[in-house]
Structure 1
Amino acid sequence: MINTIIFDFGDVFINLEKEKSIEEFKKLGLNGPNEELLAKNDLFEKGHISEIEFIDSFKKFIPNAEVDAIIKAWNSVIGDFPLYRLEFLQMLSGKYRLFLLTNTDSIHINRFEHKVGMSFYTDFYRCFEKVYYSYEMGMRKPQPEIFTTIINKHDLSPKRTLFVDDKKDNTDVAAQLGLHVWNLQVGTDDVINLFDQKHLPL
């Protein structure tokens, strides 16, 4: 019987607008992500480079763009967080041990908190026993260590733990470690259908 659920954040609770971010960067003269920027993003999400270093990495490709414009384009990926998902999470919090585990960075989290406001994000964080951000942990999914760190720190039983994430690479690694998984399909699934779709093993 499941007693613990580890949730991803982006496109599970908060909607991401990836195409919008790409369009905003195109307006600044950047034609989509490239290998160098993706590598910098990986480092930034692990907390291995600073906000300034990350923003400066864009300057190589769009030297005339203002810092504020780059940050705005970067944050345009942050969409809405439907209230019904928070209410669903609050219902779960009285029945399961809940954790949040997300690959993210300090700029995006600051934007999320500013966008939804203190009352909303406080209610959201309160649902979890612990919130884990990759940039604070120094690693990111799908590194196996990020899962084993949480399992060991909180004495979790993998066979009694469900991991919910929209990226198959992440759920595949979690499954290899013995966790139950739900690879949520963005645009088709909604986290509130956790019980309806039998994704919560009993």
Structure 2
Amino acid sequence: MIDTIIFDFGDIFINLDKQAPVIKFKKLGLNEWNSELDELNIQFETGKISREEFLAGFQKQIPDASEKAILKAWNSVLLDFPLYRLEFLQLLSKKYRLFLLSNTDSIHIATFEKKVGASFYSDFYQCFEKVYFSFEMGMRKPNPEIYSQLIKIHELSPKRTLFVDDRADNTDAAKALGIHVWNLKVGTEDVIDLFDKNFI
């Protein structure tokens, strides 16, 4: 019997366009996305570097691009957050312990909050017992420690916990710890299909 659900954020609640930043950065003069930028992203998502250091890392590779243009390209990944998903979550929060666990950075979260407004994001965050962002935790999925930390802090039972994420590497890591998982297929499944999946 599931009594706890841990949700990812991107492409579970807020829609993403993961190709948009790649296209935008190319227009700003970036030849191709590379391992150095991957590492820069990981460092920023785990709070190891500041916003300024992150932006400087991009400017090093595209020196002709302004900070404003870099920020616009970086934030182009964020699309809409449909109201029906929030309403679904609010109903769910009356019956289950809910947690948010997202690999994200301070720029994206600030942009999301500004985009939807205080009333909306407050209603969203209030659905959860606790909201966890990788840049505040100092680690990111699929590091097994990130799941173990939630289990330990909140005294969760893995066999009574469901984890919902759109990335297989993240759900595989949680599954290895005995947590029930739903690797949601973006484009063909929606988080509101949860009850149709017989998880809960």
TM-score (norm 2): 0.98
Per the TM alignment, residue 61 of structure 1 is displaced from its structure 2 partner at its CA by 1.4
Which residue pairs with 1:18 in the alignment?
18
1:24 maps to a residue whose letter is K
Partner Cα separation in structure 2 for residue 31 and residue 2 of structure 1: 47
Which residue pairs with 2:2 in the alignment?
2
Partner Cα separation in structure 2 for residue 168 and residue 6 of structure 1: 15
Q: Is there any run of 5+ residues in structure 1 with no aligned partner, and where? A: none
Partner Cα separation in structure 2 for residue 118 and residue 32 of structure 1: 36
Partner Cα separation in structure 1 for residue 32 and residue 197 of structure 2: 36
SS at match of 1:195: helix
Which residue pairs with 2:144 in the alignment?
144
- Aligned length, in residue pairs: 200
Per the TM alignment, residue 31 of structure 1 is displaced from its structure 2 partner at its CA by 3.2
Partner Cα separation in structure 2 for residue 137 and residue 70 of structure 1: 25
Q: Deviations over 1:45-89 (max 9, x none)?
A: 000000011111111210011001101110010110000000000
Partner Cα separation in structure 2 for residue 180 and residue 31 of structure 1: 41
Which residue pairs with 2:36 in the alignment?
36
Q: Deviations over 1:77-122 (max 9, x none)?
A: 0110000000000010000000000000000000000000111000
2:121 aligned with 1:127, yes or no? no
Q: Is there any run of 5+ residues in structure 2 with no aligned partner, and where? A: none
2:120 aligned with 1:109, yes or no? no
Q: 1:32 to 1:191 in 2, by over 3 A?
A: farther
Question: Hey, which bits of structure 1, 4+ residues long, moved more than 2 A?
Answer: none
Which residue pairs with 1:70 in the alignment?
70
TM-score (norm 1): 0.97
Which residue pairs with 1:95 in the alignment?
95
Which residue pairs with 1:79 in the alignment?
79
Partner Cα separation in structure 1 for residue 5 and residue 59 of structure 2: 40
